[in-house]
Amino acid sequence: MLWQDERKTINRRLLLKAAAASVGYSLVPDGLMIARDSWRPAAGDGAFLDDLIRQGCLYFWEQGHPVSGQIPDRARNDLNGARDPRRKASIAATGFGLTALCIADHHHYLPHPEIVERVRITLDWHLNHLPEEHGFFYHFTDVETGKRYNNSEVSSIDTSILLCGTLTALAYFKDAQISKSATEIYERVDWPWLLNGGKTFSMGWQPESGFLRSRWNHYCESLMIYLLAIGSPTHAVAPDIWDNIARPVVHFAGIDYISGVDSLFTHQYSQAWFDFKNKSDVYTDYFANSVKATRAHKAFCLSYPKWYNEQYWGVTASDSSSGYAVWGGPPAEGPLDGTVAPCAAAGSLPFLPAECLAVLRAMRSKWGKRAWGQYGFVDAFHPAANWYDTDVLGIDQGISVLMAENLRSELVWKTFMRNKEIPHAMHRAGIDGHGWHF
């Protein structure tokens, strides 16, 4: 017998399917070649990917706090093994870090017993010591004490990134302590609370003022929030909440795709863990959609020939010479000035492997140590202005490492999708694919 909310969802989706067909939506991939399946590495691609992944993993190992396991929001890229003295930790960077430790263990970059112990420490700290609200964590905390950093909010998206890393570790490590801690962290999250009586999730909560007014109400990186909530074994939300996300269509350079007016990372973050290949719902094939978004972004950059070319393109939320900037396009967002953020192309490696690898390798070759340090690329640089960032950012290192590994081996996808709650959530949301097992 189907649950009552699932029967309602099926009926609603039948209506949506008919409506979609009437306006020209396709419920299957539209013939676009999926780059991940057709890509064949060129000479040197494998060595470059290994450098990118190995040195990125080193960031999460060396900068991870040995007592809390928390990962700093940023660190200098020239520390030669020392820990950055800044104390601001990022809950999202820690989620990327837990996943990076699985990658490092798989490739024997670091000793297995030490990695397992670090993961144990990290999960125990987040379960038993780090302040939380209904299972959600503050966006930024003190890396050593876990105390809320300044007026940071309890963040829905950043907690979800932490949960993705937690579930990756749960599936990867066959360790009783890791399994227990990871399971309890996920099952503790009270997803209905985050709705705050609405039809979409709030972006967060602050103890001084309550829920943030902004909601995750359009297509972006928040797909992970909805699927984690739908799949929760303890505090699930109804699957028809998936249909409450607006999916506006962007038209650029002859490419039509679903996207909000947001930076390129919004097409990357959820797909760092959730494997959408060969799966679609009544709205789109999300993997193919991200291929289109990356093609459109490259075309957008090249429409500014004063700044960008085939060997220098890619803009997303990143550092800049005047501070942190949320920028990109299309359509143009932020004060574009010719800066490049390597994580833009690195985070799209599975979507356009040949083109993203070509630009990344060209940038490393041309600008060398000015753009590439101990942990790989600096967060951003602007050669024409003679500006090269001194820092790397945890979330930008994270998306680069995870997507490079997914291109190389699909390790993150294969591992994360072994959590039974994940394919179950995607199926309940109406995302159809081959080989679902529950």
Residue 377's pLDDT is what? 98
DSSP state of 419: S
Q: Is the four-CA dihedral 50, 55, 59, 61 of positive or negative sign?
A: positive
Residue 148's pLDDT is what? 98
Runs of H (alpha helix) within 64-132? 91-106, 112-128
**pTM for the full model?**
0.92
| Residue from 147, 127, 143 nearest 135 by CA | 127
Residue 337's pLDDT is what? 96
pLDDT block averages, 10 residues each, the chain of length 438: 46 47 34 52 96 98 98 97 97 98 98 98 98 98 97 98 99 98 98 98 98 97 98 98 97 96 96 97 97 98 98 98 95 94 98 98 98 98 98 98 97 98 98 64
Domains within the chain, CATH numbers bracketed? 4-433 (1.50.10.140)
Residue 436's pLDDT is what? 52
Cis peptide before 330 (omega within 30 of 0): yes
C-alpha span between 301 and 279 (Å, rounded): 29
Residue 38's pLDDT is what? 73
Residue 63's pLDDT is what? 98
